[in-house]
Amino acid sequence: MGRGKRKRDAKRRIRMNNRNTIRKKMGKKIFFTLTHCHKKLDGVSNRYNYKANMHALCFVDARFYNVKYQASIMTDCNFRGSELIGVDLYNCNLRGTSFKNAKLENVVFYNCNLRNVDFTGTRFLNVTFICNKIDGAKNLNVNQDGITILRTYPKFKIEDDLERLLLESANKQSIFDAKVIHVNKGKLNKWNLSIIQSRCGDEGLDSLGKILQRKERWERLYTVYSYISLIENWGPK
């Protein structure tokens, strides 16, 4: 690496640190940024990441559980042999990332850039692709078991009482922040609700509104899978 490039990288890091310091003083979120780290990194659990910037990172054999990445850059990362359980990837740029021989379980890809993403030997269980351009992905057989492709917006009817209860749950910040079942405080996310319905049935979905009315803190509701688990643990038996 030349002296000029080292100086530019050092200045860029200083600008980033100054920007994060200002955002912290203003009470705003600090976006996670890490690039070009070839050291093997651990996975994460129970976290919501917005506008994370990750490039050329090594997550070989790592484990991710109940994690949502939204509007994030995750290019040229290596998830070979890793385990992703209950992970939502929303509006993420995954270009050049490898999931070779990884295990994907209860994972949602929504409107992601999958160009040159390698799925060689990947094991799929309850994985949903929503509005993705999958033509550029490598070794992805959309007809294999464990994969569901959704291209058209769900038209199923939500009963008025259930819709009212679910919209009221947006007043709880811990539920609304990750925007799993809400688009905004006046609109529900039917993409994700349709996945929950397919897994838990009409009865399970109907119980969700009542469950969320309970006086609980409801932390860690970051992914579709976290709501499915909630219904399985708290819903009708």
What's the DSSP call for residue 116?
T
Strand partners, 49: 69
Residues 175 and 102 in one domain: no
CA 81 to chain centre: 19
Residues 128 and 178 in one domain: no
- pLDDT at position 26: 40
- The confidence band for 72, taking pLDDT boundaries of 50, 70 and 90, is very high
Look up residue 19 and give its two tokens. Answer: 């920007």
User: Residue 157 CB: number of other CB atoms within 10 A?
Assistant: 7
Residues 180 and 129 in one domain: no
Residues 220 and 198 in one domain: yes
User: Residue 149 CB: number of other CB atoms within 10 A?
Assistant: 13
Residues 33 and 143 in one domain: yes
- Asked if residue 81 belongs to a domain, the reply is yes
Strands 103-110 and 83-90 come out as parallel
- The confidence band for 30, taking pLDDT boundaries of 50, 70 and 90, is very low
- pLDDT at position 31: 53
- Asked if residue 15 belongs to a domain, the reply is no
* Domain endpoint, select from 96, 129, 150: 150
Residues 43 and 141 in one domain: yes
pLDDT digits (tens, 9 = 90+) for 134-190: 889 999 999 999 999 999 999 888 999 999 999 999 999 889 999 999 999 999 999
**Do the Cβ atoms of 227 and 183 come closer than 8 Å?**
no
SS (H, E, C) 180-213: CCEEECCEECHHHHHHHHHHHHHHHHHHHHHHHC
Residues 176 and 120 in one domain: no
- Asked if residue 229 belongs to a domain, the reply is yes
Q: How far apart are CA 157 and CA 169, in angstroms?
A: 19
Residues 36 and 145 in one domain: yes
Residues 39 and 135 in one domain: yes
Does pLDDT of 27 surpass 50?
A: no
* Domain endpoint, select from 125, 150, 175: 150
- Asked if residue 102 belongs to a domain, the reply is yes
Q: How far apart are CA 153 and CA 209, in angstroms?
A: 22
Handedness of CA 104, 109, 53, 35 (dihedral sign): positive
Report H helices in 61-220: 160-168, 173-176, 190-212
pLDDT digits (tens, 9 = 90+) for 93-102: 999 999 999 9
- pLDDT at position 157: 87
- pLDDT at position 234: 85
**Do the Cβ atoms of 211 and 205 come closer than 8 Å?**
no
Q: Report in angstroms the alpha-carbon separations of 17 from 10, 24, 52, 87, 200.
A: 11, 10, 15, 29, 45
User: Residue 64 CB: number of other CB atoms within 10 A?
Assistant: 22
Q: Which residues contact 183 (CB under 8 A, 6 or more apart)?
A: 189
Does pLDDT of 20 surpass 80?
A: no
pLDDT digits (tens, 9 = 90+) for 199-208: 999 999 999 9
Does pLDDT of 210 surpass 70?
A: yes
pLDDT digits (tens, 9 = 90+) for 216-226: 878 899 999 99
pLDDT digits (tens, 9 = 90+) for 115-131: 999 999 999 999 999 99
- pLDDT at position 95: 96
Q: At 70, which CATH number? A: 2.160.20.80
- Asked if residue 13 belongs to a domain, the reply is no
Give the domain extent around 172.
160-234
Residues 105 and 217 in one domain: no
Residues 40 and 121 in one domain: yes
- Asked if residue 189 belongs to a domain, the reply is yes
Residues 180 and 146 in one domain: no
- The confidence band for 75, taking pLDDT boundaries of 50, 70 and 90, is very high
More confident residue, 142 or 11: 142
- Asked if residue 6 belongs to a domain, the reply is no
Q: In the chain, how many domains are there?
A: 2
- Asked if residue 18 belongs to a domain, the reply is no
Of 189, 148, 142, 186, the residue nearest 167 (C-alpha): 186
* Domain endpoint, select from 150, 178, 193: 150
